[in-house]
Amino acid sequence: MDMTLEVIPLPVSDIDRARDFYRDKVGFHVDIDAEVMPGMRIVQLTPPGSGCSIALGDTLWELAKGPRPAAGTYQGLQLCVADIEAARAELTGRGLEVSEPVRYSPDDGATFMYFTDPDGNGWSIQEYRRRATEPLHEVLARLKGGQQG
């Protein structure tokens, strides 16, 4: 049985402000911005090239069991890019305040930069240079087909 992680609900205090931030400054695509059932507005945004989205909504937390997370409490959300310098230039060009890249070692996958959304949810962006020649969807297709890669 295949099981994919495709949507992560993200706690925010203002849906419109968060939608605008992720769309305009981070470059996510708005997939849904609608009342999906009476009284339940969902905004779903997807990073370019990603198979996983974030979902913003006030009442979506009422469907989940357990306590509602406070806006700004998610930390460690991670995006991956093939070229961190190009990504930083694009993001800062959109007005996103993102840290300088930090290279923890020369190994591929060991360079990161960081930003927070208007509520304080914390994101990292990891440079994984291998993705320039081996996009994740191709690696997964090979693995599913029985080829190692």
pTM for the whole structure: 0.90
Give the pLDDT confidence score for residue 148 in this predicted structure. 56
Closest listed residue to residue 10, CA positions, set 35, 46, 37, 36: 46
In sequence order, the 6+-apart residues with CB closer than 8 A to the CB of 102 are: 111, 112, 113
Predicted confidence (pLDDT) at residue 87 exceeds the cutoff of 90: yes
Predicted confidence (pLDDT) at residue 99 exceeds the cutoff of 80: yes
pLDDT in tens, 4-63: 899 999 999 999 999 999 999 999 999 999 998 898 899 999 999 898 999 998 887 777
Residue 86 Rama label (left phi>0; alpha psi -120 to 50; beta): alpha
